[in-house]
Amino acid sequence: MADIDQLLARALEWRGLPLALATVVSTWGSAPRPRGSHMLIAADGRFEGSVSGGCVEGEVLVAGADVIAQGSPRRLRYGVTDPTAWETGLPCGGEIELLVQPVSETGFPAHLFDRIATARLAGDTLLLATDLDTGRTSEQAHDGAFLNSYGPPRRMLIVGAVQIGQSLVRLARELGMAVTVIDPRERFLTQDRFPDTILDDRWPDEAVAAAKPDRATAIVTLSHDIKIDDPALAAALRSPAGYIAALGSRRSHARRLERLATMGFDEAALARIDGPAGIDIGGIGPAEIALSIAAGAVRAFSEQG
């Protein structure tokens, strides 16, 4: 489950309790968490999420309790130049600025958690604007507001129920991606081999098209069988998928591109395929190869902004 989904789940679970929401609104240098990162704080001391990877969370909990009690937002700034940098600062050398809001109509209205969840479920992106002077968040963007974008959940479609896929399923899940494994071969696609995983035994082009890939979707072909991989890649190229990758050597990838070109795909379309799949880390064995592919997907998603 992605960080934002965990936070949304807690917001639902804690609905009706006094809450505060801390958000990273600016970063400088080697900040441990990106702009837009959240930490949800309950009045009883429970919290979900992170704004600094653990460096200043203790201080933010205290600020959150104060915001809940006072009902007004606070701006906080932490950096290595603080006298207490090693205790409540960022010894990594970065700086962050936070906004801590009450979860209320005067800060971050509670219904916006539902709006984020609904948009993600529909595969849409929701843009929220926060007035840093008043500390109130709404869906109405305006000049000078801090804008936070909540995109659809990341997904990975793995075509080919092979050993590398078993490792890739676990890694993708740890990275917050929802995973589906696609393979028409009954003996390969079993719950024993891929427990607690969505399995799709349709022909790959049908399965990929039915999944309606978006920019937050990675599609990876692993079967080494052109009857399975090629139709899946063709369907992937007809979609706006954010990452498309195909396992195989450079020689086999060159032949793959020739086959896809005969289907009508031009050079620009074919350049979308990461082949051989993943970042070259010199990986050997299924787990290391899966790691390189997962890293390739993360890089592609990050480059989208």
Q: Is 275 helix (H, G, I), strand (E, B) or coil?
A: coil
pLDDT of 86 over the 70 cut: no
Contact 127, 149 (CB under 8 A): yes
Q: How does DSSP classify residue 34?
A: -
pLDDT of residue 305: 60
pLDDT of 55 over the 90 cut: no
Considering 76-85, 138-147, 216-225, 277-286, the range whose residues carry the highest mean pLDDT is 216-225
Residue 95: pLDDT band (50, 70, 90) is confident
Residue type, 222: L
The string of DSSP codes covering 109-121 is -THHHHHHHHHHH
Tens digit of each residue's pLDDT (9 = 90 or more) over 174-199: 998 999 999 999 999 999 999 999 99
Whether the link from the prior residue into 276 is cis, omega within 30° of 0, is yes
Residue 85: pLDDT band (50, 70, 90) is very low
Q: How crowded is residue 213: how many other Cβ atoms within 10 Å of its Cβ?
A: 23
Q: Of the given ranges (85-94, 246-255, 267-276), which has the lowest mean pLDDT?
A: 85-94
Domain coordinates in residue numbering, the chain: 3-150, 155-303
165 CB burial (10 A radius; 0-12, 13-18, 19+): buried
Q: How does DSSP classify residue 239?
A: T
d(CA 158, CA 167): 11
Residue 78: pLDDT band (50, 70, 90) is confident
Q: What is the mean pLDDT of residues 147-151?
A: 92
d(CA 1, CA 175): 8
d(CA 128, CA 126): 7
d(CA 218, CA 296): 10
Q: What are 132's two structure tokens? A: 């840093």
Contact 247, 276 (CB under 8 A): yes
pLDDT of residue 31: 65
Contact 188, 213 (CB under 8 A): no
User: Distance between alpha carbon 218 and the CA centroid of its chain, in Å?
Assistant: 11
Supply the pTM of this predicted model. 0.78
CATH architecture, domain 155-303:
3-Layer(aba) Sandwich (3.40)
